[in-house]
A = this chain, B = another copy of it.
Amino acid sequence: MKSDICILGEPVEDFFVRMEEFHGYRSPGILVGSLMLEAALQRIGHVPYLNVVTETVVCLPDAVQLLTPCTYGNGFLQVLDWGKFALTAYDRDSLDGARAWLNHDLLTDYPLINSWFERTGYKREKPPFSELAEEILSTGPELIRCQEVKLLHPLKNRRPMPTGRCSKCGESYTLHHGSRCPACQGKSYYSLGANKELYA
């Protein structure tokens, strides 16, 4: 790997170490995502209230959390479960932004990226991250497409939602769900274990 390559000003090898620490492994998706972020952030320039929305739950949210102040828990990162490898960086006040996405027309020119993205050839051999990363970083800017966009509406309700105690379990929840919390409405994902003891 050429040591002079930087991602948003950070040497790429340092970024890989942080990626591995946070995400658990070196991820081609996060690397491509970082180039998408770079393109989108360059397009919008400095904005006072940066937010990012990703159009897939896979990898891209971690690229955003590694490279911007936007996290899932602080609400500045929003995630759509569309399975689209795209993201939009925008200002949450003006709603002006830039959307970046993978240039699908170019994939067939790059065998390793194509095999990773289309999940082909994985059974025989998965390309090592270092080779795939080299190909991703050698493509130049044409791998990513970017366009200015305007959000049609805010993606996040900025007012606190009214909360109250559930009449069944007694825990607090957001009241717009109804007169009981989702779990007590039968949407629970769990049942009590064999040991029903309550621990403090």
In the bound complex, do residue B104 and residue A172 qualify as a contact, i.e. CB atoms below 8 Å apart? yes
Number of residues of chain A lying within 8 A (CB) of chain B: 81
Contact of A192 among B65, B85, B149, B195 (CB under 8 A): B149
Chain A, 19-67, CB within 8 A of any chain B CB: 22-24, 30, 39, 43, 53, 55, 57-63, 65
- A200's partner among B142, B153, B155, B183 (CB-CB below 8 A) is B142
Residues B150 and A84 in contact, CB atoms below 8 Å apart: no
A60: which B residues are within 8 A, CB to CB? Answer: 73
- On whether the beta carbons of B22 and A71 are closer than 8 Å, the reply is yes
Copies in the complex: 2
Interchain CB contact (< 8 A) of A190 among B57, B74, B99: B99
- Residues of chain B contacted by A189 (CB below 8 angstroms): 53, 80, 88, 151-153, 155
B65 touches A72 (CB 8 A): yes
Residue of B nearest to A170 (CB): B104
A69 within 8 A of B: yes
Is A177 located at the chain interface by the 8 A CB criterion?
yes
Which listed residue (B23, B85, B146, B195) contacts A148, Cβ 8 A? B195
Indicate if A75 sits at the interface (CB-CB under 8 A).
Answer: yes
A73 and B53 form a contact (CB under 8 A): no
Interface residues of A (CB under 8 A from B): 22-24, 30, 39, 43, 53, 55, 57-63, 65, 69, 71-76, 79-80, 82-86, 88, 96-99, 101-105, 117, 119, 141-142, 144-153, 155, 160-161, 163, 165, 170-174, 177, 181-183, 188-200
Additional 13 contacts, C-beta under 8 A, given A59-B73, A65-B71: A23-B74, A30-B73, A57-B72, A57-B75, A83-B163, A84-B172, A102-B171, A102-B172, A117-B172, A144-B200, A146-B198, A146-B200, A152-B188
